[in-house]
Amino acid sequence: MLIKLIGGILIIVASGAFGIGMGNKYGGRPKELKRLRILLQMLETEIIYGATPLPFALANVASKADNSLSHFFQDIAEGLIRGSFYSVKEAWDKAVDTSLQDTYLGASDKELLKSFGGILGASDSNDQQKHFKLFYKQLEQQEDLAEEDRRKNEKMYRSLGFLFGIVVFIVLV
């Protein structure tokens, strides 16, 4: 009887944790998008008002960011400073593919980010500002979508995990 009980608890905890994990995926995305937007705003300030060269601007932003996003900016900055890339786009695309793997950002977010890499640094500050504005709009849209996704899914996956565990327990006992 005791073993049954322990087994049951294990099942419920496991599936509950799985559900919470799934839920977090939806919860993390809008947060990360928002953080990304704030970091890009910093980058914009560096570019428009500081006229800091892009590699250094990126490094500055990276020092203010936390973990995964910081890696992203750091990787680009380092790549550009070391001179291992011939354009920002190359460095940016590669960083999107490799450094953002342990974030919650989805494929569509990455696509959007990639489209921005080709523009960054490639024109005068007026133009850059416009592109930044446009990109914020697109990011906000993405944020809204992510937020809606979160509202729909986060709670559901969390409760679903537990409930499923309980069902399995009841059916098996």
Residue labelled with tokens 């291992």 = 84
* Contact string (CB under 8 A) for another protein, positions 44-83, x = contact: ---xx--xxxxx-x----------------------x--x
**Cα–Cα distance for residue pair 151/153, rounded to 1 Å:** 6
Minimum CB separation of residue 123 from another protein in Å reads: 6
Is 130 an interacting residue with respect to another protein (CB under 8 A)? no
Neighbours of 29 (CB within 10 A): 23
Of positions 15, 103, 128, 142, contacts another protein by CB under 8 A: 128
> CA distances (Å), 65 to each of 22, 33, 43, 73, 167, in order?
25, 13, 11, 9, 43
Is 86 an interacting residue with respect to another protein (CB under 8 A)? yes
For 67, left (φ over 0), alpha (ψ -120 to 50), or beta?
Answer: left
Which chain residues interact with another protein by CB under 8 A? 47-48, 51-55, 57, 80, 83, 86-88, 121-128, 152-153, 155-156, 159-160, 163, 166-167, 170-171, 173
